[in-house]
Amino acid sequence: MKRTLHFQSMLRERELKEEWIYEALEEPDIKEDHDDGTTHYIKQIPEIGNRWLRVVVNVSTTPKTLVTAFLDRRLRKKHENKSR
């Protein structure tokens, strides 16, 4: 899979581990297909307090391209509200 420069810089800036990225891609808790040609792979990461990692992949390119990755605060709030 190809990586954008943005993706690579976000890994460093956000201190995201490569293993978390691979876990999200291989065994996502949630997978969302978007109309813009991207698929979002979402995985809860126990090592960082069960925060949600979102990895965005452009699946309309060949090879597929890793666009960005971030810890999704919206999902954390959404799931905290469900457990109350």
- What per-residue confidence (pLDDT) applies to 76? 63
Taking a C-beta distance cutoff of 8 angstroms, is the pair 59, 66 a contact?
no
Domain around 22:
2-82
Q: How many domains does the chain have?
A: 1
- What per-residue confidence (pLDDT) applies to 58? 98
10-residue block means of pLDDT along the chain (84 residues)?
95 96 97 97 95 97 97 75 52
DSSP state of 12: H
Q: What DSSP string runs through 21-75? A: HHHHHHS-SEEEE-TTSEEEEEEEEGGGTTEEEEEEEETTSSS-EEEEEEE-HHH
